[in-house]
Amino acid sequence: MNEPAKKLENNIEISAVLPSDIYLVWKYVDKFLERACKRSNGRHTIDTIYKQLIDSHANLWVVYNTNEDIVKGCVVTNFVLYPTGLKMLNILQLSGKNMEDWMEIGKPILLDWAVRNNCHGIEAVGREGMGNWLTDKDTKWKKNNLLFEMQFDQQEKTK
């Protein structure tokens, strides 16, 4: 994975980060990922994401404004290969500020990454608000399912 920074609109750039360079940008993205991990209901922690990134099990994309010299957000992706042979680029984590400024212009970069890695598509599981920038703005995205869950509390586990 050696994706150079790609200049987008409004002085926004998005760049993939090599696993060996994660430590260089971590202090700029950890606050965003911490927020995303809190919404994962125990599926991810900041430590598990970091380990996936440095072990090359996931990829980190950093979004930054070159005029302001500030990181605006990040995306963590991984590849999922299903038993049927279907390969998908999975948006594992997505977080940032002023996401409306960069999500639409960043989607083609992820699409290109998925195509060049022989994926059959892109998938994401997220909160209801993801529909605002996916299905409302791009008719190729379909809202098929929502993930609902019930987690047992400690008393229920001991019954």
Domains in the chain, number: 1
On the 0-12 / 13-18 / 19+ scale of CB atoms within 10 A, 90 is middle
Per-residue pLDDT tens for 71-123? 999 999 999 999 999 999 988 998 888 887 888 878 889 989 999 999 998 88
Check residue 141 and give its pLDDT.
62
Residue 157 lies in a domain: no
Residue 149 lies in a domain: no
Residue 145 lies in a domain: no
pTM > 0.85: no
Residue 55 CB contacts under 8 Å (≥ 6 apart), including other chains: 19
**Secondary structure (3-state) at 79:** strand
Q: Mean pLDDT throughout 50-78?
A: 95
Residue with tokens 């380990």: 51
Residue 90 lies in a domain: yes
Residue 40 lies in a domain: yes
Residue 56 CB contacts under 8 Å (≥ 6 apart), including other chains: 1, 19
Residue 151 lies in a domain: no
Domain region containing 17:
6-138
CA distances to 80, 127, 131 from 39, in Å: 21, 9, 16
Residue 131 has pLDDT above 60, yes or no: no
Give start and end residues of each alpha helix (H) in 19-157: 22-38, 46-54, 103-116, 130-133, 154-157
Check residue 58 and give its pLDDT.
97
Question: What CATH code is carried by the domain that includes residue 87?
Answer: 3.40.630.30
Residue 150 lies in a domain: no
Residue 28 lies in a domain: yes
